[in-house]
A and B are shown apart, each in its own frame.
Chain A
Amino acid sequence: MESEFFLNAGMNPVPPLPLHFNPTSSNSPPMPAWRSLPHSSSAMDMSNANYEQPPPPDCFFGNPNWDRSTDHHTGGLQYESALSSMVSSPTASNSNIPTESFMIRELIGKLGNIGGHGSNNPGEISPHLAAASSYGGSASNSCYSTPLSSPPKLSLPRMDQFVKTMGLNSSVAEFSADPGFAERAARFSCFGSRSFNGRTVQMSGGGGGGLNALPAMNGSLGGGKLPRVSSSPSLKALGSQKGNKGSPPPRQDGGELGNSSASPEESSLSEQRIPNAAGDGSGKAAAAAANEPNPRKRKAAPKGKAKESAAARPNASTAKEVETNENPTAKRSKGNGNNESKSPAKAAEEDAEAAGNSGGGEEKHSKGNNNESKPVEPMKDYIHVRARRGQATDSHSLAERVRREKISERMKLLQDLVPGCNKVTGKALMLDEIINYVQSLQRQVEFLSMKLSSVNTTRLDFSIDPLSSKDMYQRNNSGMAHPMFPVDSSASAILGHHHQNHHGSNSNSSISHCPLDPFALHHDQFQSFCDDDLQSIVQMGFSGNGPDADYNSGSSPNHQPSSSHMKVEI
């Protein structure tokens, strides 16, 4: 994850970084995580080295633990790039995360490289950084924002400060103005989608604020400098790239609770660094998959906790606290382990699964680090599912559970609809009942259509009247748009020849007969229809308004018996 990011980040700009990684000096908690990463030792070194460098950004992020020891100028570029990238990442809250700082540095570094600022940027940025840096560090590595360094706070205030600083400082502005940075920032804004947004939320938009600040700054700068401030596609691409690599590493994150949120981002950054053009296509899918499991893992713990957890990510102790505070429902460690163990396979599975399931049975290990209530991933919509207590938490079972719940919910609806289904239990029996019912209904319709056809033939001479009434209906409808009208007109036309009493009595008699004789097909069901609907219709409708009542009350005598007399006025 983060290490991944670092590795890649480190690799891209300056592949051979003789940085020395000193885990103990820096934040210890994250280090083991890094160590656990299966990256090559060299990569690790690089990442480590990078890790060391970010103290200045750390100060910015309020990380007091940062080791200011190593300021490797060789890594200066990376620093800056890391820093810039870190800026975008909202995970920097607690900033014990060297990765974040690293990212920021990298960004800054890249910034320095790009945009022809040449010496300007480093020069401009470095004093700025230096001013801020209480952790020392080379000029290039100096802390990003002076005011930020003052109190090591949580990410929220830090990010705000950072944002302000960013807005205030021209160097920062330039930094943000760098097209590469802007692009990266834009990517980041879109990138983490779930995780990222979650972090943003947690940090009360700190991370997002940082990102937002950039575009804002760009806008303040006059916009001309940054043509592509928020290129979400690029960001997504970045994310996808990152996701490619990010998936395995994030899983590896052992003790970290909500690391996945950070890791995807960082890994995405790293992905970006790595010229992974080929991986773009697959990367996107993988990224989606990677992003999906990562944020999935960390579903919503309480926001406060999420904040803490995000901040505490680098801190094992804090993480532990969060863990304890977290919902007891999920087996976090186990889930974690599961995730880690299955990360590579999981990515593929989830990919397929996500593709397969529209709703996405997105399992969510209640790590609750990023307590993102709803992932706003634009690419896919996931349904966040929380593993229940005592239930398996692997992706398959959770997805299965979601699917089963959907099915059972629909079966319940059907149960209400189909009479006689309350007694039976079990899918097979219920399906039997449903099938029988549908078949009976269809047979009824056929029978009725036969009957209607026979009736029609006998009454064909009367069809003229209905037709005329139909014309009337159409004309009237154009004016009134009252559905009652045609029925009324046609029915009355049909019945026009007969006395109302006569008709009423006849209808009554005929209708009273109907349930028994012609519709003996499914006596019970039809009884339910006729007895309720027709009888009530007949009694209420015919005596009252005539044929109108048929349709009026026929629809729902149970629902609106009182209105059967009158036309429905809605």
Chain B
Amino acid sequence: MASTIISSSPVTNSDRSKRRKKKKSAAAAAAAQQFKQAEGSSSHARWRTESQQQIYSSKLIQALSQVQLNPSSPSAPCRGRAVREAADRALAVSARGRSRWSRAILTSRIKLKFRKQQRRRGGGGGISRARKPRVSVLRLRGKSLPAVQRKVRLLGRLVPGCKKEPLPVILEEATDYIAALEMQVRAMTALADLLSGSNQASAGSSG
């Protein structure tokens, strides 16, 4: 899955949706169009529609199935992170690139890969250039005096792709992001339960 994701270099929405998950996204998109007509325009309604949930679930399952880290069997956190990234990407694809955070999620991987390549090519020289020092979110606490401004920046960092946006943009993105995150949590919970449930059942039956 990572390779497939990375292979899609263009950042445009259309390209992303097309190349990202290949057939899956295309199929899901077709299905989405079929079912999305009824959904509301607001972000709340959009992320709450069943159609959207289904779309995301299908994408999630495909993404997860592509996470083949088990053979290499890295540490659990690493795998967990991979799963999480896959889930986030699936969520971003479900957003169809209409929001900043979704686009940022989808492009972040490309940028990361790009930076890695740069690093490889440029040896040591490119590292400092390519990678920016990451300031933790909490470090903002001690910085600026106006509380509201500080919090706005904090929130901007939480929502992917909104680090330097003005407040109204951040609020809008946060609205959509929260709705999408809720849907993601719901879907992942259900999936986890499903799998764990079947796991238990299989373990029970086999054992």
Q: Contact residues of A with B, CB < 8 Å?
A: 403, 406-407, 410-411, 413-414, 416-418, 427-428, 431-432, 434-435, 437-439, 441-442, 444-446, 448-460, 462-463, 466-467, 470, 473-474, 477-478, 481-484, 486-487, 490-491, 494-495, 497-498, 502-503, 506-507, 510-511, 514, 519, 526, 529-530, 533-534, 537, 547, 550-556, 559-560, 563, 568, 570
Q: Residue A431 contacts which of B81, B148, B188, B195 (CB distance < 8 angstroms)?
A: B148
CB neighbours (8 Å) of B32 from chain A are 483
Q: Residue A563 contacts which of B50, B81, B158, B196 (CB distance < 8 angstroms)?
A: B50
B window 39-81: CB within 8 A of A: 42, 44, 48-55, 57-58, 61-62, 64-65, 67, 69-70, 73, 76-77, 79-81
Does B201 sit within 8 A of A, measured CB to CB? yes
Q: Assuming A441-B185, A442-B158, is B192 touching A478 (CB within 8 A)?
A: no
Judge whether A435 and B184 touch: CB under 8 Å. no
Bound form: Cα–Cα A537–B193 in Å: 11
Judge whether B58 and A483 touch: CB under 8 Å. yes
Tell me the nearest residue of chain A to B52, going by C-beta: A555
Q: Residue A537 contacts which of B52, B159, B190, B202 (CB distance < 8 angstroms)?
A: B190
A246 to nearest B CB, angstroms?
32
Interface residues as binary, B174-207 with A (CB distance below 8 Å gives 1, 0 otherwise) = 1101110111111111111111111111101100
CB neighbours (8 Å) of A568 from chain B are 35, 50-51, 54
Q: Residue A556 contacts which of B49, B148, B190 (CB distance < 8 angstroms)?
A: B49
Judge whether B178 and A453 touch: CB under 8 Å. no
Judge whether B53 and A448 touch: CB under 8 Å. no
Judge whether A441 and B178 touch: CB under 8 Å. yes
CB neighbours (8 Å) of B23 from chain A are 474, 477-478
Judge whether A449 and B44 touch: CB under 8 Å. no
Bound form: Cα–Cα A445–B179 in Å: 13
A540 to nearest B CB, angstroms?
13
B window 1-49: CB within 8 A of A: 23-24, 27-28, 30-32, 34-35, 37-38, 42, 44, 48-49
Judge whether B168 and A483 touch: CB under 8 Å. no
Interface residues as binary, B135-170 with A (CB distance below 8 Å gives 1, 0 otherwise) = 000000000000110011011001100000001100
Does B84 sit within 8 A of A, measured CB to CB? yes
Judge whether A450 and B80 touch: CB under 8 Å. yes
Q: Residue B168 contacts which of A410, A434, A550 (CB distance < 8 angstroms)?
A: A410
CB neighbours (8 Å) of A418 from chain B are 178
Q: Residue B181 contacts which of A438, A498, A537 (CB distance < 8 angstroms)?
A: A438
| Secondary structure of the B contact surface, majority rule | helix
Does B130 sit within 8 A of A, measured CB to CB? no
Tell me the nearest residue of chain A to B55, going by C-beta: A483
Judge whether A460 and B70 touch: CB under 8 Å. yes
Bound form: Cα–Cα A502–B51 in Å: 28
Does B87 sit within 8 A of A, measured CB to CB? yes
Judge whether A530 and B189 touch: CB under 8 Å. yes
Bound form: Cα–Cα A559–B40 in Å: 12
Judge whether B188 and A452 touch: CB under 8 Å. yes
Judge whether A503 and B199 touch: CB under 8 Å. no
Judge whether B179 and A417 touch: CB under 8 Å. yes
A456-B83, A507-B197 given; name 9 further pairs at CB < 8 Å: A428-B147, A452-B83, A456-B79, A459-B195, A477-B23, A477-B27, A498-B201, A514-B196, A568-B54
